[in-house]
């Protein structure tokens, strides 16, 4: 009798698993004329004075043998331009609230030094400053996003920085800019008023910071440039919904261009796990933390809607990404980690969330761009490689400034040790030339997923596809094998009478283009 029961149980279990692996997810795409545009700034990046992000990363100095333009690496500029980088946030992060911008202007040899108290206790010589960063943004074709010092700075200091960078007439700060070699202003649009004011930016309460924000914002004026400046409040730490509530309630909408949100995919802050040598347990719980972004964006949006039903204020997710233990043998304060297929899946799923909430999320900044956390570029002296995350963001760049095509589907589940996550992530858009792009992610670490999409009403005749995947979740691009993971042609789909039938492999990211 026991053998019969066991056989029946195993047969039932096998049948359920087989069904789960062979079921088809039906995705409906709506061609909605009222849908929002996916702001290109969702695909922004972040460069803090941290580890080898600036020095040894972006900036090698104009005497370096590494090909550069005024000290900025040419290979990095080329790679980021190919990525269509829309904006870059600087100088922090925690570093921003100890940074005094006047230390980084004028002749380099005359600039004072400070100790970077946040990241490794290294000496910061300020050889990379305002001119260097803003000129680099011009090379990149990217909008600069400057984080102002509220923690240890003054209202006058930040107001002077706005005038220095943006005013073309005669004033003390524009005269100083011209004296330092820049005649025309850069016209910086995006300004962060402090960073993580609840933590390293001053350990403030939400009520206290709201008042500080109002004071700083009052004196940051730019009457000369069309549209003025976008002032961005230091936002919540992940699920701190009270922080968003207090800011939206206490700061007038006409003073508020954006409200930030920071969220990192972390298994456990006390034990973050290895960036490469991880198990499926490590993968599952990292993705569990990353996919919480859907809940965070939804709940913060609901609070913002109470006070701003017209959605004038943008949600700015200006720090996001995976955070692991540093690579063995590297400085713990430099936050250098490798980038595997896990990070590619995480990036694709997160960007789908941002795309689908484009009515409110209008800027985001991956942390960080070069050599820090979930970087898109890694360097080793003269060598440079692009990571799996880079390739996903390049594949997804087709969504920039395209009209969102809202989607509807019920995701199958990826189950591990009794816990479950949505296995399929998706978003879609239609650009100004009429091209339709559908981005799909299979989060499941073991099973392929079948997806069906009705595309008859999208006005396209045929599709092509690109995929990024690899043999193992732990695979990554190294300096010895820089092209181990690169996008390839995806052929795992058929268009049958206006219905796309797609089979997407485990832990992979796909972008389909219809024209």
pLDDT for position 5? 39
Q: For residues 120 and 208, state if they share a domain.
A: yes
Residue 2 pLDDT greater than 70, yes or no:
no
Neighbours of 283 (CB within 10 A): 23
Q: For residues 366 and 506, state if they share a domain.
A: no
Number of domains in the chain: 2
CA 257 distance to own-chain centroid = 19
Residue 383 pLDDT greater than 90, yes or no:
yes
CB 58, CB 384: distance < 8 Å: no
pLDDT for position 33? 86
CB 500, CB 512: distance < 8 Å: yes
User: Which residues are tagged catalytic?
Assistant: 196, 319
Q: For residues 237 and 115, state if they share a domain.
A: yes
- CATH at residue 272: 3.20.20.80
- CATH at residue 426: 2.60.40.1180
Measured CA to CA, the distance from residue 306 to residue 311 in angstroms comes to 10
Calculate the dihedral angle through the C-alpha atoms of 235, 239, 244, 245, rounding to the nearest 10 degrees: -170
Measured CA to CA, the distance from residue 413 to residue 83 in angstroms comes to 32
pLDDT digits 0-9 by tens, 263-280: 999 999 999 999 999 999
Domain for residue 2, yes or no?
Answer: no
Residue 404 pLDDT greater than 60, yes or no:
yes
Final residue of a structural domain among 351, 379, 400: 400
DSSP state letters, 475-492 = -B--SSSTTSS--EE---
Final residue of a structural domain among 378, 400, 422: 400
Q: Where are the alpha helices (DSSP H) in 51-154?
A: 74-82, 130-140
Q: For residues 64 and 187, state if they share a domain.
A: yes
Q: For residues 411 and 394, state if they share a domain.
A: no
CB 480, CB 408: distance < 8 Å: no
Domain for residue 14, yes or no?
Answer: no
Q: For residues 307 and 443, state if they share a domain.
A: no
How are beta strands 123-124 and 114-115 bridged, if at all?
Answer: antiparallel
Lowest mean pLDDT among 352-361, 417-426, 495-504: 495-504
Q: For residues 446 and 476, state if they share a domain.
A: yes
User: Peptide bond preceding 368: is omega within 30 degrees of 0, i.e. cis?
Assistant: yes
CB 220, CB 149: distance < 8 Å: no
Q: For residues 374 and 429, state if they share a domain.
A: no
pLDDT for position 18? 41
Residue range(s) defining the domain that contains residue 394: 40-400
Calculate the dihedral angle through the C-alpha atoms of 509, 457, 422, 412, rounding to the nearest 10 degrees: -110
Q: For residues 212 and 295, state if they share a domain.
A: yes
Q: For residues 263 and 202, state if they share a domain.
A: yes
pLDDT digits 0-9 by tens, 40-76: 999 999 999 999 999 999 999 999 999 999 999 999 9
Q: What is the mean pLDDT of residues 370-394?
A: 98
Domain for residue 16, yes or no?
Answer: no
Q: Which helix (H) or strand (E) holds 29?
A: strand 24-29
Domain for residue 255, yes or no?
Answer: yes
Radius of gyration, alpha carbons of the chain: 24
Through-space distance between the first and last CA atoms of the chain, rounded to whole angstroms:
61
Question: Which burial class, exposed, middle or buried, applies to 407 when counting CB atoms under 10 A from its CB (0-12, 13-18, 19+)?
Answer: middle
Q: For residues 282 and 332, state if they share a domain.
A: yes
Measured CA to CA, the distance from residue 53 to residue 47 in angstroms comes to 6
Final residue of a structural domain among 382, 400, 418: 400
Confidence of residue 1 (pLDDT cuts 50, 70, 90): very low
Q: For residues 412 and 317, state if they share a domain.
A: no
């Amino acid at each position: 009798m026991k053998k019969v029961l066991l056989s029946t149980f195993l047969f039932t279990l096998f049948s359920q698993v087989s069904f789960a692996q062979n079921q088809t997810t039906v995705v409906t795409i709506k061609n909605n004329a009222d849908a929002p545009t996916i702001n290109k700034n969702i695909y922004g990046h972040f460069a803090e004075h941290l580890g080898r992000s600036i020095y040894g990363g972006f900036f090698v100095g104009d005497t370096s043998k590494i090909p550069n333009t005024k000290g900025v690496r040419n290979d990095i500029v080329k790679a980021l331009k190919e990525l269509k980088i829309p904006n870059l946030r600087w100088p922090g992060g925690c570093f921003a609230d100890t940074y005094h911008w006047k230390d980084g202007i004028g002749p380099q040899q005359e600039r004072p030094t400070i100790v970077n108290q946040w990241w490794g206790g290294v000496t910061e010589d300020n050889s990379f400053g305002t001119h260097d960063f803003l000129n680099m943004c011009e090379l990149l074709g990217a909008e600069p996003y400057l984080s102002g010092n509220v923690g240890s700075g003054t209202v006058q200091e930040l107001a002077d920085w706005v005038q220095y960078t943006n005013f073309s007439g005669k004033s003390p700060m524009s005269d100083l800019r011209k004296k330092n070699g820049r005649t025309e202003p850069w016209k910086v649009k995006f300004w962060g008023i402090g960073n993580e004011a609840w933590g390293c930016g001053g350990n403030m309460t939400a009520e206290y910071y709201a008042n500080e924000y109002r004071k700083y914002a009052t004196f940051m004026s730019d009457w000369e440039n069309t549209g003025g400046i976008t002032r961005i409040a230091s936002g919540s730490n992940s699920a701190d919904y009270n922080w968003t509530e207090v800011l939206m309630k206490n700061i007038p909408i006409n003073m508020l261009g954006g409200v930030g949100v920071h969220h990192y995919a972390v298994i456990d802050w006390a034990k973050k796990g290895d960036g490469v040598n991880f198990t499926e347990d490590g993968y599952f719980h990292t993705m569990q933390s990353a996919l919480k972004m859907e809940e965070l964006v939804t709940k913060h949006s609901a609070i913002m809607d109470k006070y701003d039903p017209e959605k004038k204020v943008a949600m700015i997710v200006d720090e996001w990404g995976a955070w692991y233990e540093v690579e063995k043998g590297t400085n713990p304060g430099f936050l250098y980690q490798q980038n595997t297929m896990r990070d590619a899946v995480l990036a694709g799923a997160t960007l789908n969330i941002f795309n689908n909430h484009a009515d409110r999320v209008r800027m985001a900044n991956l942390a960080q761009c070069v050599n820090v956390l979930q970087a898109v570029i890694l360097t080793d002296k003269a060598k440079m490689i692009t990571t799996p995350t880079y390739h996903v963001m390049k594949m997804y760049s087709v969504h920039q400034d395209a009209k969102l095509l809202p989607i509807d589907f019920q995701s199958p589940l990826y189950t591990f040790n009794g816990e479950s996550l949505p296995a399929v992530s998706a978003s879609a858009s239609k650009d100004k030339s009429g091209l339709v792009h559908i981005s799909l992610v299979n989060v499941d670490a073991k099973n392929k997923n079948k997806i069906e999409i009705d595309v008859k009403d999208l006005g396209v005749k045929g599709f092509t596809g690109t995929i990024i995947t690899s043999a193992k979740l732990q695979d990554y691009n190294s300096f010895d094998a820089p092209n181990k993971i690169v996008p390839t042609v995806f052929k795992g789909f058929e268009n049958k009478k206006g219905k796309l039938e797609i089979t997407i492999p485990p832990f992979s990211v796909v972008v389909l283009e219809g024209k």
